[in-house]
């Protein structure tokens, strides 16, 4: 604000400068008045000059600066750390051109699923950056979006005559663009565009971007080329472990190859990236993300030796790829994680019952309840090429036929498995081994105490003997009264038997159990 006296002098000077000259101005009697008026004007203008400059400077500072664009080519280094569930930390080093003072910096080719509230821009050179505000522009340029932005504005409609190869141009206002465009011409209103017609626009609105762009409004105390680091969290990037296990002919060992399956659906590409993967369940506020594409089949590939470096990170494990890689948008990539040969494996046939069969009101079929026998394999994560943390993922198991062709025999999902822990995989149901569960007697001892007798017949159509593990979930407080084979009380509500079944033969397990509800 100008001081009152200074403002008055400025006004007088302006008025004096605007007064027309008259004949009296040249007379001798007017000399004192003329001299006084000239001195007054000069004094007033000297006071007005700094005030006017200050006003111009204030107006220049308040005006929005010209936008400076930083593209993907300005990246000097990129590091991507991906977590298990569609979350990644992106760190970019860019060389940007800044002015001393206020800047509007448009950072192009950021992730389309950036979490703007996590974005951080800091100087890696001597400049001091002060953030005013930031905006993430994800309204990307498409023909429909461009037409939407021109609703209420004028466009040029060009029609081409195919016979004469001539064009006619006509101005029209865009009334709407919902299920189709509605155009208002000077003499009519039309919907849609006739064949051979196109719309010509004057320019592209500033709110439409051809790439996801983070626009940062900031102040810099220095101008020129500056190195800055942009970091942010993003969705759309994920990884998971996939394992391929090749079971030996004798089914006593297997070869295991581990692969990292990376999926990039973030809307941006990352060239020559330092890639790191975090294995572990990081606590997060739950958000919904789109499902990711299915991974490739890796059965014909062998993992490289020790491809990724591993280290402890807080309560998680961090894997670092040994060389830079490129993550293209809408791409699934596989990277070797581990390789282990001749891992000892155990095979288990298992038949599990259901607790509800022990209730009084459950009516068992006359011929009993046919049950399948499930097949498991298991191995210890220790020794040899193993003995390292295994990230959670899917293990697909293959076995070669007589002609040496690998065939898929089942898959299972494993959780994060520390070293020295056991890996257990359910592959399916045995075709040649079956079971039949039947309750042969039920007695009420008291209001809450029951006795029942069970017979489980196991059949083996294979040419070699097998051992079937039978697991029965018995409810309540229970006591085994008699049995044909000794049981193990594996838990408070489970009884377990290992029953040998001869080749092409049968074995029947019988037991009588008392339950107290």
CATH, residue 151: 2.30.30
Same domain for 51 and 162?
A: no
Tokens 């490739």 belong to residue: 296
Same domain for 355 and 479?
A: yes
Give pLDDT, residue 362. 67
Classified as helix, coil or strand, 222 is: coil
pLDDT confidence band for 161 (50 / 70 / 90): confident
Q: Which two tokens stand for residue 505?
A: 């033969």
Which DSSP state fits 21? P
Average the pLDDT over each of 247-256, 290-299, 334-343 and give the range with the smallest value: 290-299
What CA–CA distance (Å, rounded) separates 371 from 457?
10
CATH number of the domain bearing residue 486: 2.60.40
Tokens 């029951």 belong to residue: 450
Give pLDDT, residue 314. 79
Mean pLDDT for the chain? 84
Give pLDDT, residue 312. 74
Same domain for 357 and 505?
A: yes
Helices (H) and strands (E) in the chain, counts: 3, 31
CA neighbor of 169 nearest in space, from 154, 191, 151: 154
Whether the pLDDT of residue 32 is over 70: the answer is no
Based on its alpha-carbon atoms, the radius of gyration of the chain, rounded to whole angstroms, reads: 40
Choose the final residue of a domain: 200, 223, 244: 200
Whether the pLDDT of residue 333 is over 80: the answer is yes
Domain annotation covers residue 37: yes
Domain annotation covers residue 489: yes
pLDDT confidence band for 33 (50 / 70 / 90): low
Same domain for 149 and 54?
A: no
Whether the pLDDT of residue 450 is over 70: the answer is yes
Domain annotation covers residue 487: yes
Same domain for 21 and 147?
A: no
Chain-centre distance for alpha carbon 388: 26
Choose the final residue of a domain: 62, 92, 107: 62
Whether the pLDDT of residue 319 is over 90: the answer is no
Give pLDDT, residue 111. 95
CA neighbor of 72 nearest in space, from 282, 311, 329: 329
What CA–CA distance (Å, rounded) separates 48 from 11?
9
Q: Is 441 exposed, middle or buried (0-12, 13-18, 19+ CB in 10 A)?
A: exposed
Domain annotation covers residue 58: yes
Domain annotation covers residue 384: no
Give pLDDT, residue 26. 40
Same domain for 56 and 158?
A: no
Span 97-104, mean pLDDT?
94
Exposure string over 389-412, b if 16+ CB within 10 A, otherwise e:
bbbebbbbbbbeeeeeeeeeebbb
Span 465-471, mean pLDDT?
97
pLDDT confidence band for 207 (50 / 70 / 90): confident
Same domain for 368 and 485?
A: yes
Rounded to 5°, the CA angle 76-81-83 comes to 160
Domain annotation covers residue 301: no
Give pLDDT, residue 517. 77
Q: Which two tokens stand for residue 59?
A: 């107006």
Domain annotation covers residue 417: no
Whether the pLDDT of residue 307 is over 50: the answer is yes
Dmax (CA) of the chain = 143
Classified as helix, coil or strand, 497 is: strand
Main-chain dihedrals φ then ψ at residue 222, nearest 5 degrees: -140, 150
Tokens 């040998």 belong to residue: 500
Average the pLDDT over each of 50-59, 229-238, 255-264, 429-438 and give the range with the smallest value: 50-59
Whether the pLDDT of residue 251 is over 80: the answer is yes
Same domain for 44 and 159?
A: no
Give me the sheet containing 154-161, strands edge to edge.
188-191, 181-185, 166-177, 154-161, 197-200
CA neighbor of 308 nearest in space, from 388, 233, 381: 388
Same domain for 160 and 55?
A: no
Whether the pLDDT of residue 42 is over 80: the answer is no
Same domain for 159 and 53?
A: no
- Structural domains in the chain (count): 3
Domain annotation covers residue 294: no
What CA–CA distance (Å, rounded) separates 347 from 252?
8
Give pLDDT, residue 19. 47
Whether residue 447 contacts residue 486, with contact meaning beta carbons closer than 8 Å, is answered with no
Whether the pLDDT of residue 484 is over 60: the answer is yes
Choose the final residue of a domain: 62, 77, 96: 62
Same domain for 508 and 365?
A: yes
pLDDT confidence band for 354 (50 / 70 / 90): confident
Q: How confident is the model over 114-138, as pLDDT tens digits?
A: 999 999 999 999 899 999 998 998 8
Whether the pLDDT of residue 500 is over 90: the answer is yes
Whether the pLDDT of residue 2 is over 50: the answer is no
Whether the pLDDT of residue 473 is over 70: the answer is yes
Give pLDDT, residue 196. 83
pLDDT confidence band for 456 (50 / 70 / 90): very high
Same domain for 440 and 351?
A: yes
Q: Which domain holds residue 51?
A: 4-62
């Amino acid at each position: 604000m100008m001081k009152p006296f200074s403002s008055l002098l400025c006004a007088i000077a302006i008025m004096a400068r605007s007064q027309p000259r008259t004949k009296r101005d040249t007379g001798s009697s007017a000399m004192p008045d003329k001299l006084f008026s000239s001195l007054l004007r000069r004094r007033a203008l000297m006071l007005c000059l700094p005030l006017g400059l200050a006003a111009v400077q204030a107006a220049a500072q308040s005006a929005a600066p010209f936008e400076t664009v930083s593209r993907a080519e300005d990246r000097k280094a990129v590091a991507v750390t991906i977590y298990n569930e569609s979350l990644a930390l992106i760190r970019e080093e860019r060389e940007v051109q800044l002015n001393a003072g206020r800047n509007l910096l448009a950072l192009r080719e950021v992730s389309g699923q950036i979490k703007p509230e996590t974005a951080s821009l800091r100087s890696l050179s001597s400049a001091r950056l002060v953030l005013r505000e930031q905006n993430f522009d994800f309204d990307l340029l498409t023909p429909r979006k461009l037409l939407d932005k021109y609703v209420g504005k004028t466009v040029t409609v060009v029609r081409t005559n195919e016979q004469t190869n001539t064009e006619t141009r006509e101005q029209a206002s865009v009334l709407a663009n919902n299920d189709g465009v509605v155009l208002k011409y000077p003499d009519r209103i039309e919907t849609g565009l006739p064949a051979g017609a196109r719309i010509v626009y004057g320019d592209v609105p500033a709110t439409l971007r051809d790439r996801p762009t983070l626009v940062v409004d900031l102040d810099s105390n220095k101008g020129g080329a500056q190195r800055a680091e942009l970091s942010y969290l993003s969705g759309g990037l994920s990884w998971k472990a996939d394992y391929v296990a090749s079971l030996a002919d004798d089914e006593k060992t297997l070869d295991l190859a581990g692969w990292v399956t990376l999926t990039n659906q973030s809307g941006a590409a990352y060239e020559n990236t330092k890639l790191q993967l975090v294995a572990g369940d990081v606590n997060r506020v739950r958000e919904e993300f789109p499902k990711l594409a299915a991974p490739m089949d890796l059965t014909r590939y062998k993992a490289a030796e020790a491809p990724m470096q591993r280290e402890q990170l807080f309560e998680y494990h961090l894997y670092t790829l040994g060389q830079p890689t490129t993550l293209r948008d809408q791409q699934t990539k596989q990277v070797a994680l581990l390789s282990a040969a001749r891992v000892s494996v155990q095979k288990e046939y298992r038949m599990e019952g259901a607790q509800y069969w022990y209730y009084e009101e459950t009516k068992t079929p006359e011929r009993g309840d046919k049950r399948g026998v499930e097949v498991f394999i298991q191995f210890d994560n220790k020794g040899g090429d193993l003995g390292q943390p295994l990230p959670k993922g899917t293990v697909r198991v293959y076995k070669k036929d007589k002609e040496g062709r690998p065939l898929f025999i089942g898959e299972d999902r494993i959780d994060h498995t520390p070293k020295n822990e056991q890996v257990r995989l359910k592959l399916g149901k045995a075709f040649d081994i079956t079971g039949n569960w039947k309750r042969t007697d039920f007695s009420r001892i008291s209001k809450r105490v029951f006795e029942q007798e069970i017979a489980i017949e196991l059949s083996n159509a294979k040419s070699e003997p097998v051992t079937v593990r039978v697991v029965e979930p018995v409810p309540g407080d229970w006591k085994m009264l008699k049995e044909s084979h000794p049981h193990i009380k594996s838990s408070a509500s489970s009884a377990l038997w290992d029953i040998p079944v001869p080749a092409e033969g049968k074995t029947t397990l019988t037991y009588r159990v008392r339950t107290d509800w």
